[in-house]
């Protein structure tokens, strides 16, 4: 049986590796800007650059822009652990698969940050028409003008890790599990609304392009496909370890 303290340690280790990897995978700023501009050109070619009108709307209407900034700066770090706790306590039979899916997808996203540093729309030159709403409305929140991190800690974040958007990826993970395993109509409705609103927020605040959001969804899809093989492999390892213990019956620690 999974133990809550071992799960906290495992998830803390994952988040530490992810945060450190994201920080050190900064890459060249010039490359990041070129990648961001290439994404923007492709979106314009395909007529899917939704982030432009959304950003203008959020910039013009503070009643949209300010709540969106709070959404971006907080819910990513609150909803995901709350869903994990809910699964562990109330849906224990699916927790292991859900946790493995989240971990695998997050590590895939880290590979993306490493090999494709990407400048978000908000950091492009002014001529491209984007406004950083988090800088515009920074007096309303705890974040500074340079990032969604608390004031003074902006230098500790990698601002060129826009591709893929794990804000969208993690929100899709939360949304799917709430929709699939929630028992009330409101829980299932939240499972649909949360990732949809998050996708609008990341574009409206100029933190991500539409293609970043789609890449976040693709990363979660890849993680979902890998989850079952990884669980089977972990089970084989546990059986092998158990068979080597004296008597072959003592349970081995579970991943």
Average pLDDT, the chain: 87
Range scoring the smallest mean pLDDT among 31-45, 105-119, 139-153? 139-153
Q: pLDDT tens digits, residue range 187-204?
A: 999 999 999 999 999 999
Closest CA to 83 of 15, 180, 18, 213: 180
Tokens of 125: 């030159």
Tokens of 184: 């009330």
Q: Give the model's pLDDT for residue 184.
A: 93
Q: Percentage of the chain surpassing pLDDT 90?
A: 62
Which residues lie below 8 Å from residue 13, measured CB to CB, with a gap of 6+?
none
- pLDDT range class, residue 17, cuts 50, 70, 90: confident
Measured between alpha carbons, how far is 245 from 242 in angstroms, rounded to an integer? Answer: 5
**DSSP 8-state secondary structure symbol assigned to residue 161:** B
- pLDDT range class, residue 148, cuts 50, 70, 90: low
Higher pLDDT, 170 or 157: 170
Cis amide prior to 38 (ω within 30 degrees): no
Which residues lie below 8 Å from residue 176, measured CB to CB, with a gap of 6+?
191
Burial pattern 162-182, b for ≥16 Cβ within 10 A else e, equals bbbbbbbbbbbbbbbbbbebb
Burial class from Cβ neighbours inside 10 Å (0-12, 13-18, 19+) for residue 236 reads exposed
């Amino acid at each position: 049986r999974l133990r809550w303290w071992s799960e906290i340690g495992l998830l803390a280790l994952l988040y530490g590796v992810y945060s450190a990897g994201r920080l050190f995978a900064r890459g060249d700023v010039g490359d990041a800007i070129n990648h961001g501009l290439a994404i923007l050109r492709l979106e314009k070619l395909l007529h899917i650059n939704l982030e432009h009108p959304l950003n203008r709307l959020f910039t013009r209407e503070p009643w949209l822009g300010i709540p969106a900034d709070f959404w971006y700066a907080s819910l990513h770090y609150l909803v995901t652990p709350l869903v994990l706790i809910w699964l562990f306590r109330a849906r224990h039979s699916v927790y292991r698969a859900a946790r493995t899916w989240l971990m695998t997808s997050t590590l895939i996203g880290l590979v993306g940050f490493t090999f494709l540093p990407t400048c978000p729309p908000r950091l492009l030159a002014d001529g491209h028409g984007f406004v950083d709403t988090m800088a515009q409305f920074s007096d309303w929140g705890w974040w500074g003008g340079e990032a969604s991190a608390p004031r003074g800690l902006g230098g500790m974040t990698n601002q060129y890790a826009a591709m893929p958007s794990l804000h969208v990826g993690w929100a899709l993970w939360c949304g799917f599990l709430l929709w699939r395993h929630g028992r009330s109509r409101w829980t299932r409705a939240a499972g649909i609304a949360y990732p949809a609103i998050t996708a609008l927020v990341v574009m409206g605040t100029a933190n991500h392009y539409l293609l970043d959001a789609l890449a976040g969804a693709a990363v979660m899809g890849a993680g979902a496909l890998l989850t079952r093989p990884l669980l089977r492999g972990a089970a084989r390892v546990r059986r092998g370890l158990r068979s080597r213990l004296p008597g072959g019956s003592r349970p081995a620690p579970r991943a």
